[in-house]
Structures are given as structure tokens and as C-alpha cells.
Chains A and B, each alone.
Chain A
Amino acid sequence: MSGIGAGYDLSVTTFSQEGRIFQVEYASKAVETRGTMLSMRLDDSILIATEKPTLSKMAISSSRRRVYRISSHIMMGVSGILADGRAIVEWAREETSRFKDNYDRDIPVFVLAERVGNFMHAYTTHPSVRPFGTTICLCGVTKDVQSARASRAAKKPDNGRPELFQITPSGDVNRMHAMAVGKGRQVARVELEKLLPPHNRDAFTIEMDAQRRQVEAARDTEEEGEEEAAAEKHLDNMTLDIAAKEAVRILYLARDASETEMGEIEICGIGVGMIPTFIPAEKIKNLLEEVKKEEEEESSDDDEETDEAELGESSETE
């Protein structure tokens, strides 16, 4: 089974003739074939949801974790090879602790993200080790000068700014609005892109953000009652609870169709003033039931519409 990288893909320190490193690309493949993980950065909170494929009926799946607390304000989701993920979690925890010892403050999320990226990158430069087969989703809430400034501009208390980082096996660090990796990532990405807010979400345009809020507040008071009852849901107007249900819905849509039952879903969120909190299994089960019912209703509505169209009757609805 030789692919395009044949011959140049046996060592992580070998560049191919076009300048690619195939071992790193293969490490990413390890992530693509395993359970789905998605994450959403909301206006003031952040959420990770994963589907854990069932390995064995005898295993207590709640013990097999994929989202870990790194500190009171940071959580980390791992995908792909979970054992590799655990190694990174351990290192990140130590790094957070070291930072606190050195600087007497909580590590900002982007600092930890860059360090984790550097750590993972180091394993792609030596022939004696292999890259990590995991994509890390690092989420947390940073309270710093920038968040203080933004909160002052928006006239709200400083709850910190949530940040979501995706760190790939090559060590690339990208800040994301939302992310999805794993088997169901194609479907999940499409759904998440629908949830992107219509306005510019650039974190550095703090003044634009404050202006936007003013404009929206003015619009709300003007058009009270004229607004549609069901406003468009997007990342900036969802609460953590609504987002959790959305995450379950997306995982349900992105599930592996060949499996009869979905794996267990694990959801962890950081809300305003909260530490990373796991949603209890019972609640997730209820959410999943609701989602399944809603999806069935929607699909039966679609069936009805298509039936009418086929019969040639006009399907004029309001």
C-alpha cells in the first residue's frame, strides 16, 4: 500500500521532493479516522463536545475521558490517539503550574497554546521520536489588559475573553471561532459554519465590538415586537445551554451512519465565572432524546412536503 509519499515517508526528518513531511501528514490522518470532537467559542463562554466511540461493552465509557481540566480557567480536548493526548495534558498541566509559580498569575490561553504548539512541533523535528497523533482543542478564558479594555468599552464587568485554539500534530496553532475534527468533521464543519455570526468577529477590533453592541441595543429597543420570534441562532447570541444542545445536534448529524448506536457524548463548558464543568450524563441523554425527536419531526415534515409536490398539489404555506 504505497501512496504518493513512498520512500520519503519513513522518517519525520525527511522532506519529500516537493518539500512535504509525510510523517506529520500521516499523524493528522490518525486524528481523521477517530471519534468526532467539536468546539464552539461563544460570546462569553466556551464549549467542547466529543463523541466517544464504544470500544467494548464491558468498559465504563465515562472513565475514558477526552476532555481534561488543565486549570480553573482552561480545558483541553484531545482527539486521535488518546494516549498521546494524555501526555500533552500532563505537560500542559505542569506548564500552567510552572507559569503560576514564576509569574503569580493565571497563564493566558494564547501563551499556553503557543507553548503546547512548540512542544508538539519539537516532536516533528527529531528522527528519534514520532509526532503526536492528536489534534488538541485548547479552550479557556483569559483575563488580561485586553479583556479589561473590551469590557470597559462594552460597559460590562470583566469576565475575561474566551479563546479557542486548535493545535495540530505539526504544531500549527490556530485560533478558531469553532472547530471540528475526527470522522464526522465534514458534516460538523458545515453545521458550524452556519452558526458563524454575520458580523466581523475580529477580537482586536474592540471599538468595533462596542459599536456593534450599541447598534444592536438601539435596534432592539426600536424593533421590539417586530423581530421574528425565532431569531437566527449564531455563536454570539447563544447561551451555554443552547450551545450544548446545538453541539449534541451536530454530533448526532455527524454520527457514523454504519453504527447502530452513537457512542457516549462528553460535553464540557466554561461559562461566566465557572471552572470547566462537565454536563452530567443524564442531561446529555435527555438532550440527545430531544434532538433525535426534533430531527425525526423535521425529516417527516420534509417527507410530507415532497409527497405533496409529487401529487401535484400546490404546497402553499404561509
Chain B
Amino acid sequence: MSASGYDRDITVFSPEGILYQVVYTFKAVKTAGITSFAIKGKDCVVVLSQKKVSDALCDASYVKFVHSVTKNVYMLVTGRQADGKAILMSARSMANEFQNDYGYEIPAQLLAQKIADKNQAATQEAWRRPLGVSCVLFSSLPPPAVSVDEEEPVSGIPVMYHVDPAGFFSSVVAMSMGTKDSEGCTYLERVMRARKERQKKEAKRRQKEERKEEEEEEEKGEKRDMEDEEEEEDMEVQEGVFGELTAEKCCFILLSTVHYVLGEGVKASDVEMYVCDKDGLKRKTDSEVDDLLGVIAESE
């Protein structure tokens, strides 16, 4: 896989059909030295970003990786700092335009799509370069248009979309971005699989108990169709995988991921963690994060 000569321009394919500048843009996301994680729970989204301020003269309180795009849609940005601000500004501008044109707040999915389209255009047009940032758009309150007929807005439906520098976007249940993104994603997938296994066992156990109760009621054991049973189990598991995570469990999972990926020396001042639920975005205080990290360290 020789890149020679075909990797200097954005609009040039290599003979193998690879756009090397886009590959390098993905590498640029890692140059910031920051890793971030995000997870979607039952009624909330929890995001966590590593925070590294190596300059003693720098005011660390100003450094932020989670920003609000609209009142309800937030964005976690990882990668080159100035590119991150630029993508945030363009997202805000797109959201404002939508609000002005259509009279209601832009849904997170549509905003993710617009940002992704812009990212893709930057990989195809030579007059500008792609931005070296990866972002996760999340929201825990669907825009009012969805619930215009109801008296109370439908609350607590979390959505999370990941947009990468190449313009690919998708809805995700959990995501890791930045320098150690592959380790983070591997760990989160492991957690997901473990939860799936646990819930399969739970579902089986519950079914057995229910069957026992019914048998006792009817005093006669009926032979059920085994295939139907398994289908029912699978359906339960699918909904339950991440759907039953509360905010506390999400925080715990994310901090375990941090502990695993970033090492045991991580303190609350090295990360910033936010919980987005129906009440909006709230930052976890340093003491709360420290407590959780302590619990995780002890449970090892």
C-alpha cells in the first residue's frame, strides 16, 4: 500500500482507490491527544471527554469540549481545537437557519446529516480542506414538533449521532473518539456484549419462572413451541441491551472505560462528564466523578 505521490491532494485517488488525505484527516483527529466517550441510556445521554491542559499559564476553566448547538441539541467535539470551533459555529448557523425557515428547532438527526454533508463536500472539493474533528451530536428531548398535539412534551427520548470527518454519520448507542478511540470502542462493545449475555440469561430465567407459575396454575404442563420461546427472548434482549441503563449506570460504564483505556491515574480534573436528560445538560461535579472513580478502583 504505497501512498507515494497520491496522498498530497484531497481530490486525488490512489491507484488502489484510497483517498489518502481523508485517511490522514482521521489521523488528525488523534493529534489533539484527547479521547472522548459517549453512551446512550434509557432516558439520558452521558458523554465524557478527557481534558488535558499542559500549560500552567492557560486558564483551564475555559477549555470545553461539549457545547450547545441549540437549546436541546448538544455537540461533543474531539480533534483539532480550532477546527472544532469552526464546525460548532457552522452547526449553530445551520440550526439557526432551520429555525428561521421552518419555525421549529432542528432535530438532531437532520443537523447531523447537514454537518455530514458539509464534511463530505470538503473531501471532494479542492478549495478547502476537511476539518480534523469527529463529533457526536446528542439530545435528550425531541423538538416540540414531535409532540405538538400532546400537552406535555415527550421527554427523555435520547438520540445520539456520530459524524466523522469523511462525512459518514450514524445513530450510535455508544461511541469513542480521539486518540484511543479503538480501545474505547472495543471496551464498550465488550460491555454491550456482556450486558446482552446477562440479559439473555435473565430473560431465560424469567421465562422459566413464568412457565413454572403457569404450570402450577393449570396443574398440567403444556409443551410450548421452542422456536417461539427463543424469538421472544431475542426481542426482549434487543430492547433491553442499552435501553435499561439509568444515568448512574451510564456514568459508571463510561468511567470504567476511562479507567481501562486511560489508566488508573485519571482524576476528576482530567475529565469532564456531562449528563443530558429531560432537564437539559448538566455537568458532573469533580467530587461526584472522584467518588465514582474511587468505587471503580476499589472494585478491581
A172 touching B81, Cβ below 8 Å: yes
> Which residue on chain B has the smallest CB distance to residue A24?
B82
Q: Does A12 contact B (CB under 8 A)?
A: yes
B25 to A193, Cβ gap below 8 A? no
> Which of B3, B26, B57, B127 has the most A CB atoms < 10 Å from its CB?
B57
Q: Chain A contact residues: over half helix, strand or loop, or mixed?
A: loop
**CA gap between A304 and B132 in the complex, in Å:** 57
Bound together, the chains give a CA A8 to CA B82 distance in angstroms of: 20
Query: A19-B26, A128-B127 in contact; A14/B9 too (CB < 8 A)?
Result: yes
**Do B57 and A18 touch across chains, with their CB atoms under 8 A apart?**
no
CB distance A15 to B28 under 8 Å?
A: yes
Task: Write the chain A residue with the least CB distance to B90.
Answer: A118
Q: Which residues of A contact B83 (CB under 8 A)?
A: 121
A171 to B88, CA, bound (A): 14
B85 at interface, CB cutoff 8 A: yes
Pair A121/B128 contact, Cβ less than 8 Å: no
Specify which of A18, A124, A173 is in contact with B27 (CB 8 Å cutoff): A18
Residue interface bits A166-186, CB-to-B below 8 A is 1, else 0: 000011111111111000000
Contact of A178 with B29 in the complex, beta carbons under 8 Å: no
The yes or no answer to A114 lying at the interface (CB within 8 A) is yes
Q: Provide the bound-state CA to CA distance between A79 and B31, in Å.
A: 26
Closest to B83 in A: A121
Contact of B57 (CB < 8 Å), options: A125, A173, A192: A192
- Residue numbers in A under 8 Å from B56 (CB-CB): 193, 196
Knowing A15-B132, A170-B82, say if A203 contacts B21 (CB, 8 Å): no
Inter-subunit contact B86/A118 (CB<8 Å): yes
Residue among A118, A193, A201, A203 with max Cβ neighbours from chain B (10 Å): A118
Contact A15 B3 (CB under 8 A): no
- Chain B positions 133-192 with a Cβ under 8 Å from a chain A Cβ: none
Q: Find B82's partner among A10, A124, A176, A203 (CB 8 Å cutoff).
A: A124
Q: Are B59 and A201 in contact (CB under 8 A)?
A: yes
Q: In the complex, which residues of chain B have a beta carbon less than 8 angstroms from the beta carbon of A193?
A: 56-57
**B127 touching A14 by the CB < 8 A rule?**
no
Report the bound CA distance from A196 to B132 in whole Å.
33
On chain A, the residues within 8 Å of B100 by CB distance are: none
Given A118-B85, A175-B62, are A20 and B31 neighbors across the interface (CB < 8 Å)? yes
Q: Among residues 77 to 133 in chain A, which have CB atoms less than 8 Å away from a CB atom of chain B?
A: 110, 114, 117-118, 120-122, 124-128
CA distance A255 to B21 in the complex (A): 42
A contact residues around B28 at 8 Å (CB): 15, 19-21
The answer to whether A12 touches B127, judged by C-beta atoms less than 8 angstroms apart, is no
| A121 with B86: CB separation less than 8 A | yes
- B9 contact set on A, CB distance < 8 A: 14
Q: Are the C-beta atoms of B57 and A179 separated by less than 8 Å?
A: yes
Residues of B within 8 A of A20 (CB): 28, 31
Can you pick out 17 interface pairs between chain A and chain B where the beta carbons lie within 8 Å of each other? A8-B8, A12-B129, A13-B126, A14-B9, A18-B27, A21-B28, A110-B62, A121-B86, A124-B82, A125-B129, A125-B131, A126-B128, A174-B58, A174-B59, A175-B61, A177-B57, A193-B57
Q: A127-B129, A177-B59, A180-B57 are in contact. List 16 more A-B contacts (CB 8 A).
A: A17-B27, A114-B85, A117-B82, A117-B85, A124-B82, A125-B86, A126-B128, A128-B127, A170-B80, A170-B81, A171-B86, A174-B63, A175-B62, A176-B58, A176-B59, A201-B59
Binding site for A on B (CB under 8 A): 3, 7-10, 21, 24-31, 55-63, 80-83, 85-86, 89, 126-129, 131-132
Closest 9 CB pairs of A and B: A19-B27, A171-B82, A19-B28, A13-B129, A175-B62, A15-B24, A175-B59, A121-B82, A202-B61
